[in-house]
Amino acid sequence: MTMRLADIAAQAGVSEATVSRVLNGKPGVAPTTRQAVLTALDVLGYERPVKLRQQQAGLIGLILPELTNPIFPAFAQVIESALVMSGYTAVLCTQTPGGITEDDYTELLLERGVSGIVFVSGLHADSRSDRARYRRLADLGLPMVLINGYRPDIDVPFISNDDAAALDMAVGHLVSLGHRRIGLAVGQERFVPSIRKTAGFRRAMAEHAGLSDADVDDLVVNSLFTIEGGQSAAQQLLDRGCTAICCGSDIMAIGAIRGARQRGLRVPDDVSIVGFDDSPMTAYLDPPLTTLRQPVREMGLAAVENLLEEIAGIRAQRTELLYRPELVVRRSTGPAPAKISADG
């Protein structure tokens, strides 16, 4: 089949000159425009030129801690799509308990000659982990970007959600509903997101509820970022008289709702629950979950942009890029329950 530039240009909505630049691998074409031309080729049944097929051979490692928490597949989808638009293929590496470790995956990716690696909530997010593994990769000249879990002692681009700002929004929302006894169910203390969420919670409770650090001490429970972890933490906080609970993840919030219901409590009539991430299923829970939306798309695109700069030999900025979350109010939060009077 003879390839007609006019047909491709019409299908892609670009000029014939732009089509020609893409087909000949010339620079100066935006990634979205380039992808539109390649898609037009596919739609019209033309075979992609060999040169363009070869450009798809660049591999980028994408290491995730798990896929059971929906926030991580959400990151993977955004990052993988952005890489494809720029001619790269993502190699997805997912860790499982007792399975292949982050370090093992890194070695496998190096053996395959990847052009770079994106780490999402990896060992860098563990404040007690050894930074030497990342320094070694940097010394090898491997471009990489780290998402969530900022460590100032690791000299690479960082993309993070503003966890402290998120907790300020959550606490402010709950205080506006009349809650004062607000708890925080969060992950293990050694993880940077847990550290930041706890610090943000403490500041917010001081600002919005007028509580001192000592007052807040028994309102924070560290657990696992799992349904069971959220359930256990919520039950401890309910024992301490909390009428509202902020959770470190949507998964923990599901556990907190379960824990409340085991006590015969209604959400939000008796206790309000706030999640964290706004993962895809939260709007469909019963009740739909009030949560903090992590700007996954913006963060994923920024990570890819920084990585491609590093691959091109342009040093990306080393200051942490902090992205502001959004409070999404649904039906798992409501007014604080009225106090029962002494005579009644």
Q: Give residue-wise pLDDT tens across range 29-38.
A: 777 788 888 8
Is pLDDT above 60 for 152? yes
Question: What is the per-residue pLDDT across 36-71, written as a single tens digit (0 to 9) for each?
Answer: 888 888 888 888 776 665 444 489 999 999 988 999
Give alpha helix (H) positions in 45-191.
50-55, 71-85, 102-111, 132-139, 163-176
Q: pLDDT at residue 287 above 60?
A: yes
What local confidence, expressed as pLDDT, does residue 27 receive?
Answer: 67
Q: Token pair for residue 318?
A: 């080393």
Q: Residue 220 is encoded by which pair of tokens?
A: 């924070």
Give Cα 279 distance to the centre of its chain: 9
Query: What distances in angstroms separate CA 64 from CA 25, 84, 95, 116, one per listed residue?
Result: 32, 18, 7, 15
Q: Helix, strand, coil proportions of the chain in percent (round to 5)?
A: 45, 15, 40
Q: What is the mean pLDDT of residues 199-204?
A: 98
Pairing type for strands 220-222 and 272-274 reads unpaired
CA atoms of 56 and 35, how far apart (whole Å): 12
d(CA 215, CA 202): 10
Residue with tokens 């530039």: 5
Sign, CA dihedral 5-11-16-19, equals negative
Beta strand 244-247 pairing with 182-186: parallel
Calculate Rg over the CA atoms of the chain: 24
Strand ranges, E, within the chain: 58-64, 88-94, 116-120, 144-147, 158-161, 182-186, 220-222, 244-247, 272-274, 291-293, 321-323, 326-328
Least-confidence region, from 143-147, 168-172, 293-297, 317-321: 317-321
With cut-offs at 50, 70 and 90, classify the pLDDT of residue 204: very high
Are 293 and 267 a contacting pair, CB within 8 Å?
Answer: no
The CA distance from 98 to 146, in Å, is 23
Residue 306: which of 100, 298, 266, 99 has the closest Cα?
A: 298
**pLDDT for 241:** 96
> What tens digit of pLDDT does each residue of 230-253 get?
999 999 999 999 999 999 999 999
- Across 248-260, average pLDDT: 97
User: What structural domains does the chain harbor?
Assistant: 5-43 (1.10.260.40), 57-161+295-324 (3.40.50.2300), 163-294 (3.40.50.2300)
Rounded to 5 degrees, what are φ and ψ at 255? -65, -35
- Could you read off the pLDDT of 59-113 as tens digits, one per residue? 999 999 998 899 999 999 999 999 988 889 999 999 877 788 999 999 999 988 8
For residue 306 the two structure tokens come to: 């920084």
Give the distance from CA 198 to its chain's centroid. Answer: 18
